[in-house]
Structure 1
């Protein structure tokens, strides 16, 4: 900034030069030149002063452009205690604090991502490197066009992210045996960060592996605590936050796992989500209430599906559990209505928080009341789609508000599933590729994709399906292992199969002529309904998807297979 003008200019003027802002915090506060030695400048250490490091950054123009209206963070000074060895590491950490935390946490888990992760990064070099890697990948992710980052070795941000990820792994391998509960909390945090890193890269199998590792560590800690191992209040608080996130991610993962994967997956983690009859204090309370209710319903459904019941006592217990979860959901509905009447809706964030919890409530409600239906020996997955129609329309409206998509948005005429995700690189290079409505979003816990998936596969109204599929494809987002574009493509293939099948038999794609967009389509015969979709990951970014109709399942036949890559 130029010095103020003066009517008098006495004596010799000092030439103005722009001040640099890359010196250490101590030298800048003393207004003296810093030699910028890392990690601590000699100007401070030679005079016996404490060098406070280089916490405040000068960001590149690109990062300043990406970070739009950053909000204040409760740990704005957290980097002062971190050993960040380069400007690139500092910038990545700054990006994590001011952009990644808000997006990844969504509306619920901000305390963990904003506070506990940074506290763990101060104590663990592995966590610190993993956070930097995640932030660097996230920065690349939100500037792209698809919900994965390309495997581009020429990109400096991606190379830096991979280097940091490797450094985190190296720190874990070189560290002494980690046996305390505090050690395992850091390991679980690393597993969670590695899981997110793999998700952003589109490496689904690797993401599942990291999630499994975290669930195993959680189980070990629970066993140690049950055996009387002492644990501090700080560690208990950290475990509580980690448990919420791992239970949520476990629930997400089970909705994608194929039949074999379900059998081989980890045991259900200890939920420990308190379902209290007390009024909700915040959105987090409301979310945990409905998550816990659904987690119990999911556990029962999977157990019954995997092990047919034989004893009358078992049947009675299952029926009672299903009844209890529905009663619990109804009580939660009353609590939610009372809570929302008191919530101010002043800012856009306030309104989105309300829409988000309403979507979560509506999504679980549809599952709660339309399935699972239990005939005494097994779960009946088939439901009357007309029964759900009004509920699915409301769910779509809530989802469109959250992702800022027009409620009228639908699939373009003459478009095909193959137009999306031919490969990440090809899509990036293609000048004719259809631009997305929004930049890619990486988040957790919102259930937007689960809601759109439900609509796209279960709605009896084909136009409602097309709208849900279009929103997944044109508003790219990733929620854990859920990829909106892959989900949209699978849902689109499902709809095409069901529309064009004859008596449960499917022709080749080239022979099919689905109904024109907007055209009134006859109801789909139950025989043609796709009731099972199995996804098998056969490569880093390749999946083999099996579509099995009711006829296939009834006759014990294999379904139709399609390969998809991203």
Structure 2
């Protein structure tokens, strides 16, 4: 068979190809063109990687993107152990290059990123604070080690197989790892605070570490330590003039809003406790004074929690429940009512322009907090504990909203077949409202449903212990139902439970780092000056 091209044609084609390749290597001057070699960067921003250009790696947005008017999409979080406070991100070494301790820290970082982070800020994080917190950990060793410590404690919290009715062991590998990381974080934090003037980012990191230390203490059931860290964070907020969030718009200000929500909720939870040897700050957080509608549910949550915190400071005075409100208290109470009314109007304006909010559960949580405030501020104190009977429908509405958040139908009457799993959240979500409904509402159906949800979804939110809350409610019901078998004439008026036997005052005292004493006073106890009945519970 003959070839399709003669031999001389193939030779000419090879010669033309050789000449073309030679000419392509020549520039206009006739010299051979030199290839320019540039180092490959694997730690640049996402935008520069896509464009395949060198990134200068400036945080939070690189100058290469900013100078060309492009949006910098940030940096993929690469787990690594920081060695300094420099803004340089070091490529993570291969697993076989890590020491055993470093490998455990990497695993803890992954656990914190995938499991713990969603539980820090509740429904209002929207990826802002959590994402930036992970990025900042590469720059601040104190933050890195604090995250590792929390991850160790959280993993121990969710994987411990000890029954929830029995106290856990406080000595195992996870607990010891968390303690070592906590000590490293303290040392790095001291170095950070002893340096030059702190930037706003530095201060946000320090406040975040305060919250992580609070989280660590709460997970371990060490409430006294949690109170210390909450109080320290609140004092730093005021000392650094960060307690006024009016006009917050930048990314750092969005982080500050998340800090505001968590600190105000933790402060509201801590108010009812009798804190010995701890001078608690009485300064108030300051919301924005703008009359414009909210721009997001995050803005609405910040304002609501600040108003709620002001209300809790008002109601933390025990004399209010024994002698009633005086003129000064009435003025403060009316101020709280006006603030919440203004909040209602702003939220209504926001929802009129945003009929489909970004997160329905977040909106339900706002409604729950607002309903609790409405009950507290509109209650007739002259009726005593019987005033709660006027809000039965409000308590039923709160219970319905909680059931929607937990995705638990109200009609369920049997306990789940599987043992309940422990949940943890630094933000206040459902445990506190369930406790208040079960404690204050005497309508049997509503009260039992609230207790059923507390039992089915045990956990810890901030410093609020769900299992302890359930034990307190069970003891309250035991005391209150004594009226059903009391001598004739010992009871007074009241639906379901008479006014004399209703528990109208709870006092909480920390007697040990993992124990709390609850003193329960009935209306009759307060009138006769009798000491209340005590319940000592140990945190799991």
Q: TM-score surpassing 0.5?
A: yes
**1:549/1:220 CA distance change after superposition, 3 Å:** same
User: Deviation at 1:288?
Assistant: 2.2
User: Deviation at 1:559?
Assistant: 0.3
Aligned partners of 2:268 and 2:190: how far apart in 1? Answer: 30
Aligned partners of 1:188 and 1:275: how far apart in 2? Answer: 24
**1:262/1:405 CA distance change after superposition, 3 Å:** farther
Contact 1:101 1:113 in 2 (8 A): no
Q: Name the counterpart of 1:211.
A: 230
- Say which of 127, 132, 154 aligns to 1:116: 132
Cα deviation code 1:22-51 (max 9, x no counterpart): xxxxxxxxxxxxxxxxxxxxxxxxxx9889
- Say which of 87, 107, 112 aligns to 2:103: 87
Contact 1:131 1:193 in 2 (8 A): yes
**1:434/1:174 CA distance change after superposition, 3 Å:** farther
- Say which of 259, 262, 265 aligns to 1:242: 259
* SS of residue matched to 2:521: strand
Aligned partners of 2:454 and 2:324: how far apart in 1? Answer: 38
Q: Name the counterpart of 2:364.
A: 358
User: Deviation at 1:194?
Assistant: 0.6
Contact 1:207 1:481 in 2 (8 A): yes
Q: Name the counterpart of 1:300.
A: 314
Cα deviation code 1:193-248 (max 9, x no counterpart): 1100011111111111111111122221128999xxxxx97765654443332122
Contact 2:207 2:233 in 1 (8 A): yes
Superposed, 1:13-52 pairs within 5 Å as none
* SS of residue matched to 1:384: helix
Count residues with an aligned counterpart.
445
Cα deviation code 1:2-35 (max 9, x no counterpart): xxxxxxxxxxxxxxxxxxxxxxxxxxxxxxxxxx
User: Does the alignment pair 1:477 with 2:480?
Assistant: no
TM-score by length of 1: 0.68
Superposed, 1:367-386 pairs within 5 Å as 367-371=373-377, 373=379, 382-386=385-389
User: Deviation at 1:370?
Assistant: 4.6
User: Deviation at 1:563?
Assistant: 1.7
User: Does the alignment pair 1:553 with 2:526?
Assistant: yes
Contact 1:533 1:546 in 2 (8 A): yes
Contact 1:289 1:332 in 2 (8 A): no
- Say which of 385, 397, 419 aligns to 1:436: 419
Aligned partners of 2:229 and 2:213: how far apart in 1? Answer: 6
**1:478/1:114 CA distance change after superposition, 3 Å:** same
Q: Name the counterpart of 1:387.
A: 390
User: Does the alignment pair 1:102 with 2:118?
Assistant: yes
Aligned partners of 1:404 and 1:157: how far apart in 2? Answer: 32
- Say which of 165, 169, 174 aligns to 1:151: 169
Higher mean alpha-carbon deviation, 170-179 vs 102-111, is at 170-179
Aligned partners of 1:235 and 1:435: how far apart in 2? Answer: 43
Which structure: larger Rg?
2
User: Does the alignment pair 1:253 with 2:226?
Assistant: no
* SS of residue matched to 1:547: strand
**1:292/1:220 CA distance change after superposition, 3 Å:** closer
Cα deviation code 1:102-150 (max 9, x no counterpart): 2322211354641332243223211110101112222232334678993
Contact 1:436 1:475 in 2 (8 A): no
Higher mean alpha-carbon deviation, 135-144 vs 264-273, is at 264-273
User: RMSD value over aligned CA atoms?
Assistant: 4.0
Cα deviation code 1:26-81 (max 9, x no counterpart): xxxxxxxxxxxxxxxxxxxxxx988969xxxxxxxxxxxxxxxxxxx976424362
Q: Name the counterpart of 2:57.
A: none
**1:473/1:218 CA distance change after superposition, 3 Å:** same
User: Does the alignment pair 1:533 with 2:506?
Assistant: yes
User: Deviation at 1:161?
Assistant: 2.2
Contact 1:410 1:471 in 2 (8 A): no
Q: Name the counterpart of 1:278.
A: 292
Superposed, 1:390-469 pairs within 5 Å as 390-409=393-412, 435-437=418-420, 439-469=421-451
TM-score by length of 2: 0.71
User: Does the alignment pair 1:564 with 2:532?
Assistant: no
Contact 2:371 2:398 in 1 (8 A): no
* SS of residue matched to 2:507: strand
Contact 1:290 1:332 in 2 (8 A): no
**1:82/1:534 CA distance change after superposition, 3 Å:** farther
Contact 2:269 2:463 in 1 (8 A): yes
Cα deviation code 1:396-443 (max 9, x no counterpart): 12212222334234587xxxxxxxxxxxxxxxxxxxx98534x32212
* SS of residue matched to 2:410: coil
**1:370/1:167 CA distance change after superposition, 3 Å:** closer
Aligned partners of 2:241 and 2:211: how far apart in 1? Answer: 17
**1:547/1:237 CA distance change after superposition, 3 Å:** same
Aligned partners of 1:223 and 1:96: how far apart in 2? Answer: 27
Contact 1:286 1:357 in 2 (8 A): no
In structure 2, the gaps of 5 or more residues are 1-38, 45-72, 81-88, 93-97, 488-493
* SS of residue matched to 1:272: coil
Q: Name the counterpart of 1:321.
A: 335
Contact 2:120 2:427 in 1 (8 A): no
Contact 1:204 1:541 in 2 (8 A): yes
Q: Name the counterpart of 1:26.
A: none
Aligned partners of 2:379 and 2:277: how far apart in 1? Answer: 21
Cα deviation code 1:540-566 (max 9, x no counterpart): 222222111111122232100122123
**1:341/1:263 CA distance change after superposition, 3 Å:** farther
* SS of residue matched to 1:341: coil
Aligned partners of 2:193 and 2:299: how far apart in 1? Answer: 38
Aligned partners of 1:303 and 1:276: how far apart in 2? Answer: 30
